[in-house]
Amino acid sequence: MKKIYLLGFIPIIGFVIGALFSNKVTPYVLGMPFFHFSIVLWSLLTTAFLGLIYLFDPANKEEEIE
């Protein structure tokens, strides 16, 4: 397993463990209750982390050679 793949765990931890701390109405962020905002934020971060993994993913290069 490549080290860069470990980044994939961060958003999962963010959703699962993060919920223990984010289940509250205030403070409102971007007009949304904090709980809603935190889930939106982690969705964006999921895309960011997966994008980062993709950039450094050796599998993409190996397939090009094939």
Partner 1 sequence: MNTGTLFIFLFFIVSIVIGIWSKKGKEMNLEQWSVGGRGMGTLFIFLLSAGEMYTTFTFLGASGSAYGEGGSIFSIVSYGCIASIISYWAFPEIWKYSKKHKLISQSDFMAKKYESQILGVLVAIVGIVALFCYLVLQLKGLGYIVEITSYGFISSKMAILFGALGVTLFVMLSGIHGSAWTSVLKDILILAIILFLGIYFPVHFYGGIKPMYQAIEQAKPNFTILPEHGMNLTWYISTIILSGIGMYMWPHSFPPIFAAKNAKVLRKNAIIMPVYQLILLFAFFVGFAAILQIKGLQGSDGDKILLLLSKKTFDPWFVGLIGGTGVLAALVPASLILMVISTLFVKNIYQVLVPTRSESQIGKLIKFVVPFITLIGVYFTFKGGNSLFSIAIVAYNFITQLAPPFFLSLMKKNFVTKYGAITGIIFGGVIVSIYDLGEKTFAQTFTHLPQLIKDLNVGMIALIINTLVMISVSLISKNSMSTNKKIDIVVEP
- Residues lying near partner 1 in the complex (CB under 8 A): 5, 8, 11-12, 15-16, 19-20, 23-25, 28, 30-33, 35-36, 39-40, 42-44, 46-47, 50-51, 53-54, 57, 59-60, 63
How near is the Cβ of 3 to partner 1 at its closest, in Å? Answer: 14
State how far the Cα of 10 lies from the Cα of 44, in Å rounded to an integer.
Answer: 12
State how far the Cα of 6 lies from the Cα of 13, in Å rounded to an integer.
Answer: 11
How near is the Cβ of 26 to partner 1 at its closest, in Å? Answer: 9
State how far the Cα of 13 lies from the Cα of 34, in Å rounded to an integer.
Answer: 18
State how far the Cα of 34 lies from the Cα of 18, in Å rounded to an integer.
Answer: 12
How near is the Cβ of 4 to partner 1 at its closest, in Å? Answer: 12
